[in-house]
Structure 1
Amino acid sequence: MEHLSHKRKVTIMMAIIMAMFFSAINQTIVSTAMPRIIAELQGMEYYSWVITIYMLTSTIATVLVGKLSDMYGRKPFILIGIVIFMIGALLTGFSTDIFELIIYRGIQGLGAGIIMASVFTAVGDLFPPRERGKWTGVMMAVFGFSSVLGPTLGGWLVDNFAWKWLFWVFLPIGVIAFFMILFLFPKVEKSKGEKIDYAGSLLLTLSIVALLLGFSWAGTQYPWGDYRIIGLFAAAVVFAVIFVLIERRAASPVLPLSLFKNDIVTISNAIGFIMNAGMMGALIYLSFFVQGVEGISPTYAGYVTMPMSIAMVVMSTIIGRVITKTGKYKRFAVIGLPIMVAGMLIMAFMDSVWLAVVAMVVFGVGLGVGMPIFSLTVQNAVKPSELGVATASSQLFRNLGGTIGIAVMGTIMQTSLVNNMKEAASSSTGFDFTKLDPAVAEQLKEFQNPEMLLDQPKLEQLQATLPPEIQPIISQMIETLRGALSDSLTTVFLAGTAVLVVALILVFFLREIPLRTSNKMPEQGSEQSESHPSKSPSLQEA
């Protein structure tokens, strides 16, 4: 589509951005409201599963659609993704228990994965790598805007309306996005001579599902050494080995192994995996600090995360334009990752809402500077015919990292919280209920459940029903709960910091090659660094 006029390309980008915004806003709008939803559905122990299932289905959809979109074009998959996402959003609003919520969020994740795999690749179809820096910044800004609007609007909606409206309020945008893509996006001819890799797709899916289920259940549903967990990990390895053997002989592999002979693709994907593991695994619990520890309502909790999004919008827009102008990108990864580490470290020791805001600003700056780089590096290092599958590989590893990070951090969170609660119960802050009226004692036991902190209206209502003479005890119990939750979150954020440090180290091994000014690969022998991107990496200066 490089032959299209600039005006037509910009018009198509408007349609792409609309589709992406529809998917993004439906993710961010639930971030501050999810603790309240989980509490109302009484599913605290399944909290990570609501996030994990979304990531799981979107990950599978992303990697499968990547190759298919190379074969059939991006347009049909963007349309299919929008429809599936809308169905999932509609059904999610009708959830009556935590299990229905998980299933319907899985359907939403499937649609989101299809949309994201298609729209990011479509940008690569429209613009050469040198120009993609600017548009990548714009798309990151759209994500940032949805991150600003979503949490705040979500918090306000859940405080003033039934939470189902979180999933229904933006459905009209989905309809608009569908028809914009239908009429504006050009049709691409199907690639001839290529067949769908059914065997590879099935084995890759089975391996991903087994791997993510193992990480999701380990330490929460079952001990890490349980035979079911070991069995899932073993199954993931077996399926992965068979997948590799089949892909080596496949005529049109769903995930070509040749991609990973390219050091730029391999290192970029490794960084994306590790970075998302630390970032998503820790950030998902930020609402626990704001609402649970600080007692902020979901409406105002959105204002705490807003500075991160604003900082990300500003920095990603600026950095995108600078990359397009200079053609240099590695230096921004080297700058952005340390800032993200600093932001996460502040989160580990924050003890007030204002310090949380500072952490959000710092982390958002780092995110805006460093995050857009790694998809661009992958797209710049492969042939245009591999654009979809290469972009999908990048998103695959990011999603895998995010999903595994959420699962592992969830285990860390639960384990630490249980230990902290046991320590509080055995210390002088423990409470002897035997001296109280049995009915009152039974009510007081509810204040030993940290889930109470995430539903402030219910907490205040229950507290008001108890006799005045035991209100000091209740206040002390609530403070004990908050202290245990705060200490657990410190452990989670420190773990996230350590993971981000590993990603930072890998950045120095990322080889920088010039960003192409055309979607055509350079002729053999010209621009040595471009035509041989799979050579061994050099520790090039940023």
Structure 2
Amino acid sequence: MEHLTHKRKMSIMFAIIAAMFFSAINQTIVSTAMPRIIAVLSGMEYYSWVITIYMLTSTLATVLVGKLSDIYGRKPFILTGIVIFMIGALLTGFSKDIFQLIIYRGVQGVGAGIIMATVFTAVGDLFSPRERGKWTGVMMAVFGFSSVIGPTLGGWLVDNMEWKWLFWIFLPLGVVAFFMILFLFPKVERKPSESIDYAGSFFLSITIIALLLGFTWAGSKYEWASFEILGLFGAAIISLILFILVERHAKSPVLPLSLFRNDIVTISNVIGFLMNAGMMGALIYLPFFVQGVEGISPTYSGYVTMPMSIGMVIMSTIIGRQITKTGKYKRYAIIGMPIMVAGLLIMAFMNSVWIAVIAMIVFGIGLGVGMPVFSLTVQNAVKPTELGVATSSSQLFRNLGGTIGIAIMGTIMQSALVRNMKEASSSSTGFHFDELDPELAKELSAFQNPEMLLDQPKLEQLQQTLPADVQPLITQMIDMLRDALSHSLTVVFLAGASLVVVAMILSFFLREIPLRTSNKMPEQEPQAEAV
């Protein structure tokens, strides 16, 4: 599609950005409102499934559609993704119970995965790798912008309107994006020699489902060494082996193994996996510090993470333009990741909300500098005919990294918290409930649960119901909880920083090849092929 006029390309890019923003804002807008929605529909015990099902369906759709879009073109899948996402959003607003919400969020996840798998690849169709740097920065900025306004807007909407409007308010934007892509996006004919890899798709799907469920449930729903978790991991390994065997003989593999013989693709995907594992695994616990340790309300805690999104928006836009201007990209990965590490280290030792804000600013700058690089490196290192499957492989590794990182950090957090609580209880400041009135001791035992710190209204209400003479003891117990939680979070952020350090070291081994000024793969560029 490089032959299109600049005006036509700009119109298509506007439609692509509208489609991507439609998907992104519908994810971020519900983050602050989901607890209220769950309270209305009931079913708190199934809350994790609302998140898990979206993650599962979007990841599956992302990786499976990558190859299909290489065969049929991007247009039908962007349109299909928008329609499925709109249907899912509409139905979600009509949910009568938690089970309908889970099902309809799964439908939304399918649409979101299809959209995300195709919009980034469509940019690769429109522009040469050299030009993509600028547009990759713009796409990252769109994500950042949705992260800035989404949580705040979601909180305002759920406080002033019925929660269903969270899912309906941006439906007109989806309609606009659909018709713009329908009329502006050129049609690509199906490649006649390509066939669909059904067997490979099946075993890849089983592998991803078992792996994601295993890491999602491990340490929370089931023990890591439980039969259920070991069974899921075993199923993932068996399915992966069968997938590899199938792909070695498939005529048109859904995820070609030859991609991973390309050192640039492999290193970029591993770096993306580690970055997301460290980033998501650590950042998801930042609200524990802001709300639990510092006692800030959920409404205002969203403002603490806002500087990160703003920093990412600004820097990704600037760096994207610089990549396009200079044709160099490796330097930005090497610069960006140490800044991310610095942000995580500040988080590890922060002791106030203002230090947390500084950490967010530093981390956001590093994220904006380093993150846009690795989708670009993958797209530049493969043939244009493999653009879709290569891009989806990059997104697959990032999704897996985020999910596995959250699970591992959760285990680290829980074990550190248990250890810190035991140390505090066995120290001289420990509390001996056997010396108190049994009824009072039962009420005070609630203050030994760190989860109390995350529900400030309930904590204050319970505290006010207790006699005045035990208030100093309660204050001491709360301080102990906050101290234990703070020290546990230090371990989590240090673990996240260590993963990003490994990614930073790997970035030195990333081979930099010239960014092509055309989507055609010149014969004199063998260094981009498998090694």
Query: Which residue is 1:295 aligned to?
Result: 295
Query: Which residue is 1:539 aligned to?
Result: none
Deviation at 1:331, TM superposition (A): 0.6
Query: Which residue is 1:84 aligned to?
Result: 84
> TM-score normalised to the size of structure 1?
0.90
Cα 1:167–1:443, aligned 2, differ >3 Å: closer, same or farther? farther
Cα 1:456–1:52, aligned 2, differ >3 Å: closer, same or farther? same
**Cα distance in 2 between the residues matched to 1:315 and 1:120:** 19
Deviation at 1:32, TM superposition (A): 4.6
Query: Which residue is 2:146 aligned to?
Result: 146
Deviations 1:515-540 (A, max 9, x none): 11111111x2x3xxx2332365xxxx
Q: How does 1:348-387 map to 2 (within 5 A)?
A: 348-387=348-387
**Cα distance in 1 between the residues matched to 2:165 and 2:133:** 36
Assess if the C-alpha contact under 8 Å between 1:39 and 1:451 holds in 2. no
* Comparing 284-293 and 479-488, the one that deviates more: 479-488
Give the AA of the match of 2:492. V
Give the AA of the match of 1:519. N
Which of residues 505, 529, 534 in structure 1 aligns to 2:529?
A: 534
Deviation at 1:437, TM superposition (A): 6.0
Assess if the C-alpha contact under 8 Å between 2:258 and 2:530 holds in 1. no
Assess if the C-alpha contact under 8 Å between 2:382 and 2:529 holds in 1. no
Q: How does 1:458-477 map to 2 (within 5 A)?
A: 458-477=458-477
Assess if the C-alpha contact under 8 Å between 1:31 and 1:154 holds in 2. yes
Give the AA of the match of 1:174. G
**Cα distance in 1 between the residues matched to 2:170 and 2:428:** 50
Q: Secondary structure at the match of 2:146?
A: helix
Q: How does 1:162-181 map to 2 (within 5 A)?
A: 165-181=165-181
Cα 1:420–1:180, aligned 2, differ >3 Å: closer, same or farther? farther
Deviation at 1:317, TM superposition (A): 0.7
* In the alignment, structure 1 residue 415 sits paired with structure 2 residue 436: no
**Cα distance in 2 between the residues matched to 1:297 and 1:86:** 32
Deviation at 1:432, TM superposition (A): 4.5
Deviation at 1:459, TM superposition (A): 3.1
Q: Secondary structure at the match of 1:8?
A: helix
* Comparing 421-430 and 56-65, the one that deviates more: 421-430
Query: Which residue is 1:498 aligned to?
Result: 498
**Cα distance in 2 between the residues matched to 1:33 and 1:454:** 16
**Cα distance in 1 between the residues matched to 2:496 and 2:484:** 19
Query: Which residue is 2:390 aligned to?
Result: 390
Q: Secondary structure at the match of 2:249?
A: coil
Assess if the C-alpha contact under 8 Å between 2:340 and 2:363 holds in 1. yes
Give the AA of the match of 2:528. P
Query: Which residue is 2:275 aligned to?
Result: 275
* In the alignment, structure 1 residue 226 sits paired with structure 2 residue 226: yes
Deviation at 1:342, TM superposition (A): 0.8
Query: Which residue is 2:193 aligned to?
Result: 193
**Cα distance in 1 between the residues matched to 2:294 and 2:38:** 18
Deviation at 1:296, TM superposition (A): 1.5
Assess if the C-alpha contact under 8 Å between 1:155 and 1:298 holds in 2. no
Deviations 1:344-403 (A, max 9, x none): 111111111100011111111111110000000111111111110110111111111111
Cα 1:96–1:300, aligned 2, differ >3 Å: closer, same or farther? farther
Deviation at 1:91, TM superposition (A): 5.0
* Comparing 308-317 and 108-117, the one that deviates more: 108-117
* In the alignment, structure 1 residue 335 sits paired with structure 2 residue 335: yes
**Cα distance in 2 between the residues matched to 1:450 and 1:170:** 38
Cα 1:98–1:492, aligned 2, differ >3 Å: closer, same or farther? farther
Deviation at 1:306, TM superposition (A): 1.2
Q: How does 1:248-327 map to 2 (within 5 A)?
A: 248-327=248-327
**Cα distance in 2 between the residues matched to 1:35 and 1:120:** 32
Q: Secondary structure at the match of 1:248?
A: helix
Cα 1:417–1:269, aligned 2, differ >3 Å: closer, same or farther? same
**Cα distance in 2 between the residues matched to 1:151 and 1:48:** 19
* Comparing 238-247 and 26-35, the one that deviates more: 26-35
**Cα distance in 1 between the residues matched to 2:107 and 2:368:** 29
Cα 1:46–1:339, aligned 2, differ >3 Å: closer, same or farther? farther
- Return 5+ residue gaps in structure 2 as ranges: none
Query: Which residue is 2:486 aligned to?
Result: 486
* Comparing 237-246 and 78-87, the one that deviates more: 78-87
**Cα distance in 2 between the residues matched to 1:458 and 1:179:** 48
> TM-score normalised to the size of structure 2?
0.92
Deviation at 1:111, TM superposition (A): 2.0
Deviation at 1:452, TM superposition (A): 2.9
* Comparing 41-50 and 410-419, the one that deviates more: 41-50
Cα 1:324–1:365, aligned 2, differ >3 Å: closer, same or farther? same
**Cα distance in 1 between the residues matched to 2:463 and 2:158:** 21
Assess if the C-alpha contact under 8 Å between 1:49 and 1:216 holds in 2. no
Q: Secondary structure at the match of 2:528?
A: coil
Deviation at 1:2, TM superposition (A): 1.4
Deviation at 1:16, TM superposition (A): 0.6
Assess if the C-alpha contact under 8 Å between 1:84 and 1:107 holds in 2. yes
Deviations 1:60-92 (A, max 9, x none): 111100011111221222222223333444455
Cα 1:454–1:105, aligned 2, differ >3 Å: closer, same or farther? farther
Give the AA of the match of 1:201. S
Cα 1:259–1:360, aligned 2, differ >3 Å: closer, same or farther? same
Deviations 1:164-215 (A, max 9, x none): 5544443443333333333332322222232211110000010111122222
- Return 5+ residue gaps in structure 1 as ranges: 537-542
* Comparing 334-343 and 485-494, the one that deviates more: 485-494
Query: Which residue is 1:122 aligned to?
Result: 122
Q: Secondary structure at the match of 2:382?
A: coil
Q: Secondary structure at the match of 1:251?
A: coil
| RMSD between aligned residues | 2.7
**Cα distance in 2 between the residues matched to 1:355 and 1:41:** 37
Give the AA of the match of 2:80. I
Deviation at 1:59, TM superposition (A): 1.5
Assess if the C-alpha contact under 8 Å between 1:73 and 1:190 holds in 2. yes
**Cα distance in 2 between the residues matched to 1:251 and 1:14:** 36
Cα 1:160–1:437, aligned 2, differ >3 Å: closer, same or farther? farther
Assess if the C-alpha contact under 8 Å between 1:67 and 1:255 holds in 2. yes
**Cα distance in 1 between the residues matched to 2:87 and 2:29:** 17
Q: Secondary structure at the match of 1:532?
A: helix
**Cα distance in 1 between the residues matched to 2:69 and 2:496:** 34
Assess if the C-alpha contact under 8 Å between 2:295 and 2:453 holds in 1. yes
Deviation at 1:423, TM superposition (A): 3.5
Give the AA of the match of 2:527. H
Query: Which residue is 1:540 aligned to?
Result: none
**Cα distance in 1 between the residues matched to 2:128 and 2:471:** 66
* In the alignment, structure 1 residue 245 sits paired with structure 2 residue 252: no
Deviation at 1:12, TM superposition (A): 0.7
